[in-house]
Amino acid sequence: MLILVCASILGFASAKSLEARWATCGSLVEVASAEFESVPQDEMVVSGSEVVLSCSLYASPQATISWFFRDQRITNHAPAMVENSLPNRKLGQSLVESRLRIPCVDVHTAGEYTCTATTPCTPPNLFLSASAQVMIAPTNKVSRCNASSSFDSPNPSPSSPFISQFTVSRLEMPGGVIQLMCRAQGNPQPEVTWHRLGEAEELIDITNHHSYMKLSNGDLLVMGDDDKVTESFRCTAKNQHGEDTTDSTIIYVNADEN
């Protein structure tokens, strides 16, 4: 069932026009919107330390989030492209968190970092942005980072998994196709798995379940259940150096409540 839906989505996406995109924007459960729930915070650390910056965004539909360092783009996270390609689809509101891992702060990686966001329904050339400064604390000890820790290194050092963008929650109509994001980084590239969380938060295998499908980028497609009020999932990214996990929750609302 879900595989057939995906095939029709991809066929539609290949021929989708600008008019169809704006038609999607006009059929949202919530009015098209985007606003920060949290913004990156300034950090002062000892040279050689690891730092994680984060920003989170309420948006309808889900947003594209990018990170810039000294005005140069260093990461770009595409939105939930499959669900945004659905014709006549009522997309709800999402809370998405994006995280940036700076593995080693030194004079080359200290400075201003900016989180920017835009949605398919954002007017052209308009976007949200929020910046933070990463600073090196005064100290007599100076640590130097090797070249493999830089953002553009062709030979990055081995590293544990790090989920850099994920869907925290979704407010959705029941019965539709929902794309939960889970984008993982690491060296080697982590393997991503999904489980549904039971009432006691036990992990329930959904590998061969007809209502769920993992995409090649790590995201999960969920065929919304008309009988459920809410359901939660856990994304796990794992390689030989460790693992990282995040949880996502879908809350279903019927049309009469909107």
Q: Is residue 124 part of a domain?
A: yes
Rg for the chain (alpha carbons), in Å? 20
Asked if 233 and 172 sit in the same domain, the reply is yes
Segments forming the whole domain that contains residue 117:
30-139
Domain boundary among the residues 76, 110, 139 is at: 139
Query: Same domain for 117 and 212?
Result: no
Q: What is the pTM of this model?
A: 0.84
Residue 83, domain member (yes or no): yes
- In Å, how far are 30, 33, 131, 207 from 189, measured between CA atoms? 36, 33, 28, 20
The answer to whether residue 9 is domain-embedded is no
Domain assignment present for 240: yes
Give domain status of residue 1, yes or no: no
Q: Structurally, how many domains does the chain consist of?
A: 2
**CATH number for the domain including 180?**
2.60.40.10
Task: Indicate if 214 and 183 belong to the same structural domain.
Answer: yes
In a domain, 6, yes or no: no
Domain assignment present for residue 4? The answer is no
Compute mean pLDDT per 10 residues along the chain, 258 residues long, and list them.
Answer: 45 46 63 88 93 93 89 84 60 88 92 91 79 90 69 79 95 83 94 95 92 92 82 97 96 68
> Of 110, 139, 168, which residue sits at a domain end?
139
pLDDT of 98 reads: 96
Listed residues 139, 170, 201: the one ending a domain:
139
Q: 184 with 129, same domain?
A: no
pLDDT at 81: 67
